[in-house]
């Protein structure tokens, strides 16, 4: 295998990390699956050294786990783990909401754009785009607070709020429509800088998401 320049290796490492992180958050890799190094290096078109470094970073994020002997796996989240991550997300987003509502100069355009993208993807039937827009909306709440460490903590709790693989497509569409309505309701409260209403709507919004039926 040809040697890779240091700059190229760093670029490939970031590419591998971002690509894998997106796939994992959007549930495009099955829980329990082993991430075989040769396969993923070829799939992402990166050097295996860069891939190993990306795996290590994803492990620190809690998105992959190292196997007992060798290699990395996609973790399976049980009900207790899902509940724990959900509580963490609510706490971090509520902290961001408090910061936003204390400063009327903070722009909320990223949240509004995420809502518009969600609606466009939903109308077009693009499930992956819907899930991505959902993620962007919640990350936009946290990022708007302008607290670097808060954003870094939030990245460690990347539980999807919408699951693509449901037993009933009509149920999934109805849940997506409700999610969009709830996003816009949270945004409306933030535009008024009503922290209490925004946090109440956020808690109600997040609390029922993990209960979506998933096709095994």
Question: What CATH number does residue 99 fall under?
Answer: 1.20.120.530
Task: Residue 148: count other Cβ atoms within 10 Å of its Cβ.
Answer: 9
Query: Mean of the pLDDT values across residues 17-37?
Result: 85
Domain that holds residue 172: 79-211
Q: Do 65 and 86 belong to one domain? A: no
122-158 pLDDT tens trace = 999 888 888 889 989 999 999 999 999 999 888 877 6
Q: Is residue 169 part of a domain?
A: yes
Q: Is residue 68 part of a domain?
A: yes
How sure is the predictor about 209, in pLDDT bands with cuts at 50, 70 and 90? low
DSSP-assigned letters across all residues of 75-93: PPPPHHHHHHHHHHHHHHH
Q: Do 29 and 92 belong to one domain? A: no
State which of 53, 73, 93 marks the end of a domain: 73
Q: Is residue 216 part of a domain?
A: no
- If one compares 29 and 120, the residue with the highest pLDDT of the two is 120
Q: Do 54 and 83 belong to one domain? A: no
How sure is the predictor about 45, in pLDDT bands with cuts at 50, 70 and 90? very high
Q: Do 93 and 37 belong to one domain? A: no
Q: Is residue 1 part of a domain?
A: no
State which of 44, 73, 102 marks the end of a domain: 73
**8 Å CB contact between 53 and 12:** no
- If one compares 166 and 51, the residue with the highest pLDDT of the two is 51
Q: Do 58 and 123 belong to one domain? A: no
Q: What is the pTM of this model?
A: 0.78
CA–CA separation, 166 and 169 (whole Å): 6
Give the number of domains in the chain. 2
Q: Do 16 and 99 belong to one domain? A: no
Q: Do 178 and 97 belong to one domain? A: yes
Distance of CA 136 to the CA centre of its chain: 8
Q: Do 95 and 151 belong to one domain? A: yes
How sure is the predictor about 214, in pLDDT bands with cuts at 50, 70 and 90? very low
Q: Return the closest-CA partner of residue 149 out of 204, 92, 102, 206.
A: 92
State which of 73, 100, 128 marks the end of a domain: 73
Burial tier of 192 (Cβ tally within 10 Å: 0-12, 13-18, 19+): exposed
Q: Is residue 124 part of a domain?
A: yes
Q: Is residue 137 part of a domain?
A: yes
CA–CA separation, 45 and 47 (whole Å): 7
Distance of CA 151 to the CA centre of its chain: 12
**8 Å CB contact between 162 and 131:** yes
């Amino acid at each position: 295998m040809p040697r890779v320049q240091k700059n190229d290796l760093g670029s490939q490492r970031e590419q591998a990390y971002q690509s894998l992180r997106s796939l994992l958050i959007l549930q495009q890799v099955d829980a329990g699956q082993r991430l075989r190094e040769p396969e993923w290096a070829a799939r992402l078109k990166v050097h295996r050294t860069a891939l190993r470094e990306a795996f290590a970073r994803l492990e620190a994020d809690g998105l992959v786990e190292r196997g007992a002997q060798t290699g990395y796996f996609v973790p399976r989240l049980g009900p207790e783990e899902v509940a724990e991550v959900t509580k963490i997300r609510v706490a971090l987003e509520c902290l961001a909401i408090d910061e936003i509502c204390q400063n009327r100069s903070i722009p909320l355009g990223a949240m509004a754009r995420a809502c518009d993208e969600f609606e466009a993807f939903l109308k077009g039937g693009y499930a992956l785009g819907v899930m991505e827009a959902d993620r962007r909306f919640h990350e936009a709440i946290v990022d708007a607070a302008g607290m670097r460490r808060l954003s870094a903590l939030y990245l460690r709790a990347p539980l999807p709020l919408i699951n693509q693989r449901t037993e009933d497509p009509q149920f999934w569409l109805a849940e997506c429509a409700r999610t969009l309505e709830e996003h816009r309701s949270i945004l409306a409260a933030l535009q008024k800088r009503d922290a209490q209403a925004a946090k109440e709507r956020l808690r109600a919004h997040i609390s029922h998401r993990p209960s979506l039926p998933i096709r095994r």
